[in-house]
């Protein structure tokens, strides 16, 4: 797979697929521009080479309809402020008017296409739509790691039609970080897996067994493991149908000599609300009508000890309902321990990333992935479809 640096882009029309799916408030104001910041290295590189930069992204879920509350106009404005140059806004992402705008561009100019998902063909990976997008450019660059696990036209089908296709610097960095952590990590390699559902993390857990030295589980998904180990978890969030599976997994982990840690205590609450009654209890003593909402202080202490000698840490999934202050300590304490560790720390997952930000620990992490689903797909040991598409055209000599 080639990157943008391997090809001549000077004065060329370079269509860069980015992930500008930023959070907006009710007044269409961007509340966090981390996703814009993340692709600046690629954009600045392209501009430094005097390319005509055409940006394509989705925003929200307009579901194939033109809904102006999902317009990329506010993003164009913000990007213009950040770059200190004009960012032209196209009326659509394909079609004659857009082609005329693209054709009239000079090197060093930036054109933002309108939301790709105003066309239902984007998420259908429609050939004709991919072809229409490709027709706008001389060079196609994928720098949208966060959507690269999805077979969408702007990351898959487009590569079959663009004259040249390659990866952007963010996509490359994401893949390189992850690959190094999996294949040549400084050991011990520790995986921390948490979050809401064990079902969504099962494949990732199984694949991680081939790589890691230690696994720690927390969050609601740990409840299924706690139940499998013979403890009653009251009204905690749990996936009953996966209790046996969790038990089998614990056995597999033991056979492989991987060190496995699950919570020894939890913050139990009588309801999942900030005003709930709380108590710290050992996992053996979760009251029948209560639920586990966070890992307890003894577990925080244990997890901190486990991480003392870590060489590499991969963390996906919060330890509790961190969105509510009383249940945020487990996740925030862990964030501080991980960020303070000398280990290479790689954080992935939508909620995990925002928890680490909220804990004020983001700056000291080695790497925070911009992808939730894409990161999980890598943890599952699966290739990203959009990366496979880039590799395919590279093997055919089209990049």
Q: Which of 127, 187, 197, 392 is catalytic?
A: 197
How many residues of this chain bind ligand ADP (CB under 6 A)? 18
Using rule CB under 6 A, residue 320 touches ligand ADP? yes
Using rule CB under 5 A, residue 373 touches Mg ion? no
Residues 154-193 within binding reach of ligand ADP (CB under 6 A): none
Using rule CB under 6 A, residue 293 touches ligand ADP? yes
- Shortest CA distance to 329 belongs to which of 300, 353, 307? 300
Using rule CB under 6 A, residue 142 touches ligand ADP? no
Q: Note the helical H segments in the chain.
A: 34-48, 73-83, 96-103, 127-134, 169-183, 202-208, 219-228, 243-255, 297-306, 329-340, 350-358, 373-379, 385-395
- Shortest CA distance to 70 belongs to which of 57, 79, 81? 57
Q: Which stretch binds ligand ADP (CB under 6 A): 46-54, 144-152, 207-215, 347-355?
A: 347-355
Using rule CB under 6 A, residue 62 touches ligand ADP? no
Binds ligand ADP by CB under 6 A, chosen from 165, 352, 369, 370: 352
How many whole angstroms separate alpha carbon 212 and alpha carbon 312?
A: 9
Buried b (16+ CB within 10 A) or exposed e, 278-299: eeebebeebeeebbbbbbbeeb
How many other CB atoms sit within 10 Å of the CB of residue 325?
Answer: 10
Using rule CB under 5 A, residue 350 touches Mg ion? yes
Binds ligand ADP by CB under 6 A, chosen from 323, 380, 382, 391: 323
Helix (H, G, I), strand (E, B) or coil at 6: helix
Q: Are 180 and 202 in contact (CB under 8 A)?
A: no
Residues 217-276 within binding reach of ligand ADP (CB under 6 A): 219-220, 237
Q: Which of 60, 247, 372, 373 is catalytic?
A: 373
How many whole angstroms separate alpha carbon 2 and alpha carbon 132?
A: 23
Nearest CB to ligand ADP, comparing residues 42 and 352: 352
Helix (H, G, I), strand (E, B) or coil at 340: helix
Using rule CB under 6 A, residue 316 touches ligand ADP? yes
Task: Name residues whose C-beta falls within 8 Å of residue 252's C-beta, 6 or more positions apart in sequence.
Answer: 206, 209
How many other CB atoms sit within 10 Å of the CB of residue 301?
Answer: 14
Catalytic-residue membership of 150: no
Nearest CB to Mg ion, comparing residues 294 and 351: 351
Provide the mask over 355-384, with x wherever binding to ligand ADP is found by CB under 6 A and - wherever it is not.
Answer: -----------------x------------
Binds ligand ADP by CB under 6 A, chosen from 134, 321, 365, 386: 321
Per partner kind, with CB cut-offs from 5 to 8 A, the member of Mg ion, ligand ADP, none near residue 219 is ligand ADP
Distant-in-sequence contacts of 304-309, Cβ < 8 A, 24+ apart = 304/333, 304/334, 304/337, 306/190, 306/214, 306/216, 306/259, 306/261, 307/190, 307/337, 307/338, 307/341, 307/343, 309/188
Using rule CB under 6 A, residue 390 touches ligand ADP? no
Per partner kind, with CB cut-offs from 5 to 8 A, the member of Mg ion, ligand ADP, none near residue 121 is none
Using rule CB under 5 A, residue 143 touches Mg ion? no
Q: Which stretch binds ligand ADP (CB under 6 A): 61-69, 86-94, 255-263, 319-327?
A: 319-327
Name the DSSP class of 162.
Answer: S
Catalytic-residue membership of 230: no
Catalytic-residue membership of 288: no
How many residues of this chain bind Mg ion (CB under 5 A)? 2
Residues that bind Mg ion (CB under 5 A): 350-351
Which residues are known to be catalytic?
Answer: 35, 197, 350, 373
Residues that bind ligand ADP (CB under 6 A): 195-196, 219-220, 237, 292-293, 316-318, 320-321, 323, 349-352, 372
């Amino acid at each position: 797979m080639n990157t943008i640096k391997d090809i001549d882009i000077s004065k060329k029309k370079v269509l860069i697929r980015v992930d500008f799916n930023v959070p907006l408030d009710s007044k269409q104001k961007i509340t966090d521009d981390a996703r814009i910041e993340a692709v600046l290295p690629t954009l600045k590189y392209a501009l430094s080479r005097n390319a005509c930069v055409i940006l394509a992204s989705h925003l929200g879920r307009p579901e194939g309809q033109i809904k102006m509350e999902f317009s990329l106009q506010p993003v164009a404005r913000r990007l213009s402020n950040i770059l200190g140059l004009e960012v032209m806004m196209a009326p659509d992402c394909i079609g004659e008017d857009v082609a005329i705008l693209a054709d009239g561009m000079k090197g060093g100019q930036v054109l933002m296409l309108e939301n790709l998902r105003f066309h239902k063909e984007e998420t259908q990976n429609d050939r004709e739509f991919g072809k229409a997008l490709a027709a706008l450019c001389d060079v196609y660059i994928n720098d949208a790691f966060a959507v690269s696990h999805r077979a969408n036209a702007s990351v898959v089908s487009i590569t079959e039609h663009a004259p040249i296709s390659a990866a952007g610097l963010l996509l490359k960095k994401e893949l390189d970080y992850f690959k190094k952590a999996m294949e040549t990590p400084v050991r011990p390699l520790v995986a921390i897996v948490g979050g809401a559902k064990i079902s969504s993390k099962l494949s990732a857990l199984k694949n991680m067994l081939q790589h890691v030295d230690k696994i720690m589980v927390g969050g609601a998904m740990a409840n299924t493991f706690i139940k499998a180990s013979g403890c009653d978890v009251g009204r905690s969030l749990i996936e009953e149908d996966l209790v046996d599976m969790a038990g089998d997994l614990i056995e597999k982990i033991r056979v492989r000599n991987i060190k496995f840690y699950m919570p020894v205590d939890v913050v139990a609450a009588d309801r999942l609300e900030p005003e709930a009654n709380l108590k710290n209890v050992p996992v053996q003593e979760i009251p029948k009508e209560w639920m586990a909402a966070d890992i307890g202080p003894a577990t925080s202490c244990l997890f901190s000890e486990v991480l003392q000698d870590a060489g590499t840490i991969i963390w996906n999934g919060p330890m509790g309902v961190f969105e509510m202050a009383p249940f945020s300590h487990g996740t925030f304490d862990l964030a501080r321990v991980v960020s303070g560790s000398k280990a290479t720390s790689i954080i992935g997952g939508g909620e995990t990333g925002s928890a680490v930000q909220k804990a004020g620990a983001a700056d000291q992490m080695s790497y925070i992935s911009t992808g939730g689903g894409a990161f999980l797909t890598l943890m599952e040991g699966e290739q990203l479809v959009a990366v496979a598409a880039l590799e395919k055209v590279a093997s055919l000599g089209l990049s």
